Amino acid sequence: MKIGEKNFSFGSRTYIMGILNVTPDSFSDGGEFDSVDKAVAHAKQMVADGVDVIDIGGESTRPGAKSITIEEEIIRVIPVIEELTKKVNIPLSIDTYKSEIAKKALDLGIAMVNDITALQGDKKLVNDIADYNVPIILMHMKGTPNNMQKNPAYDDVVKEIIDFLEKRIEYATFNKVKKENIIIDPGIGFGKRTGKGIEDNCEILRRLPEFKTLGHPIMIGASRKTFIGNVCGGKTLLPVTDRLEGSLAASSIAVANGADILRVHDVKQTRRCIDIVDSIIRK
């Protein structure tokens, strides 16, 4: 797959997507990079730490989050994109489901789109992806960020996610998105049960090889998610700042079970960890 000017050879190594949230309220790093200077500095550090692509997001998708206006999202992300396209030489991704945001970002040089709604949030976006001929990440989410963790339920979580993604792939390709431009994401933490003895996210990672039947590269975003705080904290939920070890463990299992891209906050630590995993399983 070509993302921007870079060729991604999935299967030969694991690629790291660094998270750049230019938001005041994201669950892990809200407010840390909500100015252009801070965002650019953090992006440069991720490049130095070995990131392969940077995903820029202007709207929080934490559990309970409410959507923001297009105008507000433009104010948050466009100035950052304008600077980063001049100052880093790796592909950039826009984390949005809104056609108007995606088009502005693509016109500025963004190389791919990460859509948490799998092309359901804005019916125009599928045409933009086809017209610009760029990669798209299709993610599974049960509900919306505002309500996704309000009593989600599944009979077979993996089967239901695979069925959903299969339908969204069919929708995308029917609307002239190239098959080779599609990446899938089972949506760790997005409308998945955690705590009280049910860990959908762990089951997804355990059964990740089943997603290979869809025939597309797999992205996993487990970094600092609530299930890590639940599993590692025992009876006490670990704070977001204390979930690195659990995140690295989840990432390692994901790669061993077939993940191609990891979307993470901690680029340096993940890069070092996954270099070892790759050297064991991909040689």
Percent of the chain with pLDDT over 90: 84
Tokens 């090889």, residue located? 209
Nearest CA-CA partner of 208 in 193, 196, 221: 221
**What SS3 string covers 229-270?**
HHHHHCCCCCCHHHCHHHHHHHHHHHHHCCCCEEEECCHHHH
Report the distance separating Cα 23 and Cα 213, nearest Å: 36
Split at pLDDT 50, 70, 90, the class of 10 is very high
In DSSP terms, 184 is beta-bridged to 138, 218
Residues 51-78: tens digit of each pLDDT: 999 999 999 877 777 788 999 999 999 9
Per-residue pLDDT, 68: 87
The CATH number of 13-281, from 2.40.70.10, 3.20.20.20, 3.40.50.300, 3.40.50.740, is 3.20.20.20
Tell whether the model's pLDDT for residue 283 goes beyond 80: no
Residues 202-224: tens digit of each pLDDT: 999 999 999 999 999 999 999 99
C-alpha Rg value of the chain to the nearest Å? 17
The full set of domain ranges for the chain reads 13-281
Report the distance separating Cα 157 and Cα 163, nearest Å: 10
Nearest CA-CA partner of 145 in 68, 202, 259, 230: 68
Residues 139-182: tens digit of each pLDDT: 999 878 878 788 889 999 999 999 999 999 999 999 999 999 99
Long-range contacts of the stretch 146-154 (C-beta < 8 A, 24+): 146/64, 146/65, 146/66, 146/67, 148/63, 148/190, 148/191, 149/63, 149/64, 149/191, 152/191, 152/192, 152/193, 152/200, 153/193, 154/193, 154/200
Per-residue pLDDT, 101: 97
3-state secondary structure of 59: coil
The first and second tokens of residue 138, run together, are 């299709």
Per-residue pLDDT, 28: 52
Percent of the chain with pLDDT over 70: 96
Q: Is the dihedral of CA 65, 237, 162, 177 positive or negative?
A: positive
Per-residue pLDDT, 32: 65
Catalytic residue IDs: 225, 263
Per-residue pLDDT, 31: 53
The first and second tokens of residue 274, run together, are 């996954």
Tell whether the model's pLDDT for residue 30 goes beyond 70: no
Residues 83-127: tens digit of each pLDDT: 999 999 999 999 999 999 999 999 999 999 999 999 999 999 999
